[in-house]
Copies of this chain bind each other. A is one copy, B any other.
Amino acid sequence: MNQDYIKADNWSIIEEGFDINQVKSSESLFSIGNGAMGQRANFEESYSGPTFQGSYIAGVYYPDKTRVGWWKNGYPEYFAKVLNAPNWIGINVEINGEALDLFKCKKVEDFRRELNMKEGWLSRSFKATLQNSTKVKVESKRFLSLDFDEVGAIQYQVTPLNGDAQINFSPYLDNGITNEDTNWDDKFWDVLSVDHKENQAFILSRTMKTHFYVCVAMQSQISINGEVLKEEKKVQKSDKSVEFQYQNKVYKGDTITLAKFGGYVTDRNHDKKDLVSAAKETLNKVSKLGFDSLLKLQREAWSRIWEMADITISGDVKAQQGIRFNIFQLNQTYLGKDARLNIGPKGFTGEKYGGSTYWDTEAYCIPFYLATKNQNVARNLLAYRYHQLDKAIENAQKLGFKNGAALYPMVTMNGEECHNEWEITFEEIHRNGAIAFAIYNYHRFTSDYSYIPEKGLEVLIGIARFWHQRATFSKAKSRYVILGVTGPNEYENNVNNNFYTNYIAKWCLNYAVENIEIVEAEYPSDHSRIMNRVNLSKAELEQWKDVADNMYFPYSEEYGVYLQQDGFLDKELITVANLDKSQRPINQKWSWDRILRSPYIKQADTLQGFYFFEDDFTVEELERHFDFYEPFTVHESSLSPCVHSIQAAKLGRMDQAYTFYLRTSRLDLDDYNHEVHEGLHITSMAGTWMSIVEGFGGMRVKNNILEFSPKIPKQWEGYSFKINFRNQILKVNVGQNDTHFELDGTLAIEIKVNDKLVSIQPNGLVTV
């Protein structure tokens, strides 16, 4: 954990001073994205120190051949992973014959980096004294356009400070790139052509195996003191790269500026034969606007996002910075425009987890997008799974299930399973439950039932069939059991009767039955269309109900708690507080067997069930379970503290809730898990949002009514958030003494605040 490295600021992420040990971490933290592409905060100029170069294009992946020590039947042959894309940001800078390279300079002063979240750009400035003693000031600014999501823009400026200087800028495109994350060091890209015309250059490439066609392109322009220079450049081409070389003499104190526009057009959005011309057209369009106008559009676009999504916190800059960083990164990663995309756990900030879709989307991200975007965004995320239903059925077949049972993959890019650890791939089956729960959540929040007869019901049926077949009857227990699973707590493998898994399985079976009945009654033509397709008999439905009604749940009479799984009480129940600090994090210090037989919980598991299904339990039950499990929880998953924060707030334990809030909101900024250099934890950022809105704000939707039970940490003066509830915007402003509710809409609504009904008129303000 490094709490002093990022400066506290309400709207920006700021780093001051150059520290080569922080370069890789900053490359993650200062990443930029626009939902269609992403870029780690790599330097434009060359850097010979430790760095993790990463440029990513949403939806462009590569099926890397699986690497495994001991093959098991059912493992996928390939693991689709996000690809490092051709470099478009690079600018070789030569000053008086020496390459600018911060790793090699005599001196670097006044180094400052700012990620301006309000306006959506990244800047960097420093003064460097080169080995040849030339001293220059450098300022760069760049962003990925929200308006034109195939391009980004860079303004790169150098001012010689101690004499006139020969300054050569060589902006380039390069497909000589590799993945950090690769199983066999395979080559991922074939370069098809390298072209340039006037001040534009293009490299057309194709990914191997998946055959995505991508054109990376750039256009560049030089000016001195604001005056555009007539182009006098050389062009250097190789079979994988192209570089424009501008050579200029710059007087002391004058500033030479390179404006570079660049990015990617792909055959996901264009005909493959038109890629170069599409790139050309886009470059023409943005370069005509120019850097400043494009930046103005960027500010306006981000302003529209913040208008809806912002959460303000007053009196606690670090908390404010934390939540905005989370909201900013979520919006950089996924904007909901493209139903083929999803939210990778590291977004566009790294390669770990393959850039793929996990249950994180349904369990953590859906509520954020539901409340801060048009409801189509969440609907697109649901539809993503609907479109992959056939693959989920295939996946289940591989594991021996039949008759249309669907097991959604643990990790996927295109619906196929991409993970190969048997204890997770085959056994962490609770993911299927979250996918059904997201449908329920969507309907609960939006009241849009249409998704279910249109698409959702088929998903629910496939999932119910899986649970029905996966549960087996234990004669010894006279109940249905689910053997051999890994729950949300991945520090247990191959356990029997994981409470969370059994609970969500039962719920899925009941929810499917309930919706089949509703669709039958209210959408008869959908019902018969679906029933024709899935061939579901009354007898099968009866079996589902039997399994749901007779599901086994391990329970301890002594503690009055459901047990995380069979046998949990046989462990040595030593709390985390009594665990030697030198042993933490246990996933870096202990061998796997030791972790498994310990009582330590990686992330909320039984408590995750209490989060999803809180109305099924009393507050006293929650408290008992929280008090039982929280002391064993090591939170070594990013997805853990948010749930605990919400539950601590519900139990009125505001100090604990606040601590968990800081941990979730500043997980990456303060690098709690010593791994931010690998990329950011994007999906858990939605959990941070939940920990304010659902935790402190106490927001719930029950029976079509928005409910709140506002609480506030003592460290804060106030906080506010907005909720798009069924196309009306409710602004909630919580202070230490009261809460204001302000409605931006055309229809009066009734909400509940601390269990009391409150009416709010259109454009009205109510204080409670």
Which A residues have a C-beta under 8 Å from some C-beta of B? Answer: 66-70, 72-74, 398-400, 420-423, 426-427, 472-477, 481, 483-484, 493-496, 566-567, 569-573, 587-594, 596-597
Asked if A475 and B569 sit within 8 Å, CB to CB, the answer is yes
Q: Is the Cβ of B426 less than 8 Å from the Cβ of A592?
A: yes
Residue from the list B421, B483, B569 in contact with A597, Cβ < 8 A: B483
> Which residue in B399, B573, B596 is a CB contact (below 8 Å) of A593?
B399
A-B contact pairs, 13 of them (CB 8 A): A67-B67, A68-B68, A68-B69, A73-B592, A74-B591, A400-B594, A423-B423, A423-B494, A427-B593, A474-B571, A484-B593, A496-B567, A566-B570
**B420:A597 contact, CB within 8 angstroms:** no
Q: What's the Cα separation between A727 and B629 when bound, in Å? A: 63
Known: A484-B597, A590-B400, A594-B400. A474 touches B569 (CB 8 A): yes
The one of B66, B399, B569, B571 that contacts A594, using a Cβ cutoff of 8 Å:
B399
CA distance A72 to B587 in the complex (A): 9
Inter-chain CA distance A147–B296, complex, in Å, is: 90
Given A567-B567, A569-B475, A597-B483, CB of A73 within 8 Å of CB of B493: no
Q: Which residues of chain B have C-beta atoms less than 8 A from A474's C-beta?
A: 569-571
Q: Are A476 and B570 in contact (CB under 8 A)?
A: yes
Pick from B66, B472, B570, B589: contact of A572, CB under 8 Å: B472
- In the complex the two chains form, is B72's CB within 8 Å of A591's CB? yes
Q: Are A592 and B422 in contact (CB under 8 A)?
A: yes
Residue of B nearest to A424 (CB): B70
User: For the complex, what is the distance from the CA of A484 to the CA of B592, rounded to whole Å?
Assistant: 10
Shortest beta-carbon distance from A437 to chain B in Å: 22
Cα separation A195 to B569 with both chains bound (whole Å): 69
Interchain CB contact under 8 A, A570 and B483: yes
Q: What residue of chain B has the Cβ atom nearest to residue A477's Cβ?
A: B570
With A400-B590, A484-B593 given, name 17 new contacts (CB 8 A). A67-B67, A70-B421, A73-B587, A73-B589, A73-B592, A74-B593, A398-B591, A400-B594, A423-B423, A427-B593, A472-B572, A474-B569, A474-B570, A483-B571, A483-B597, A484-B596, A496-B570
Q: Are B73 and A591 in contact, with the CB atoms below 8 A?
A: yes
Decide: A569 near B69, CB < 8 A? Known: A398-B591, A426-B591, A484-B593.
no
Q: Are A476 and B569 in contact (CB under 8 A)?
A: yes
Closest to A66 in B: B69
Complex contact B422–A73 (CB within 8 A): no
For A496, the closest partner residue in chain B by CB is B567
- A588→B73 contact, CB < 8 A: yes
Specify which chain B residues have a CB less than 8 angstroms from the CB of A592 in the assembled complex: 72-74, 422, 426
Q: For residue A430, give the distance in angstroms from its CB to the closest CB of chain B.
A: 13
Give the docked Cα–Cα distance between A66 and B73 (Å): 21
A473 to B596, CA, bound (A): 16
Assembled-state Cα–Cα distance A594/B69 (Å): 20
7 interchain residue pairs of minimum CB distance: A74-B591, A426-B593, A484-B597, A476-B569, A483-B597, A474-B570, A422-B592
Which residues of the partner chain B approach A597 to less than 8 Å between Cβ atoms? 472, 483-484
* Min CB gap A653→B, angstroms: 27
A566:B567 contact, CB within 8 angstroms: yes
Residue of B nearest to A474 (CB): B570
Please, how many angstroms separate the alpha-carbon atoms of A572 and B481 in the complex? 10
Q: Which of B399, B472, B569, B570 contacts A591 (CB 8 A)?
A: B399
**A257 to B570 alpha-carbon distance, docked (Å):** 73
A422 contact set on B, CB distance < 8 A:
591-593
A572 near B399 with CB under 8 A, answer: no
Contact partners of A588 in chain B: CB under 8 A: 73
What residues of B have a CB within 8 angstroms of the CB of A494 in the complex? Answer: 423, 493-495, 593, 596
Q: Which residue of B lies closest to A566 (CB)?
A: B567
Q: Are A571 and B427 in contact (CB under 8 A)?
A: no
Interfacial chain B residues near A399, Cβ < 8 Å: 591, 593-594
Given contacts A73-B590, A484-B596, A592-B422, contact A472 B67 (CB under 8 A): no
Interfacial chain B residues near A591, Cβ < 8 Å: 72-74, 398-400, 422, 426
Distance between Cα atoms of A573 and B420 in the complex (Å): 29
- Complex: A420 Cα to B570 Cα, angstroms: 27
Tell which of A66, A68, A421, A570 has the most Cβ of chain B within 10 Å.
Answer: A570
Given contacts A66-B69, A73-B589, A591-B72, contact A472 B426 (CB under 8 A): no
Question: In the complex, what residues of B have CB within 8 A of residue A477's CB?
Answer: 570
**A487–chain B nearest beta-carbon distance, Å:** 13
Q: Are B473 and A572 within 8 A (Cβ)?
A: yes
Interface centre among A74, A589, A591 (most CB of B within 10 A): A591
Residues of B within 8 A of A484 (CB): 593, 596-597
Give bound CA distance, A569 to B478, whole Å: 11
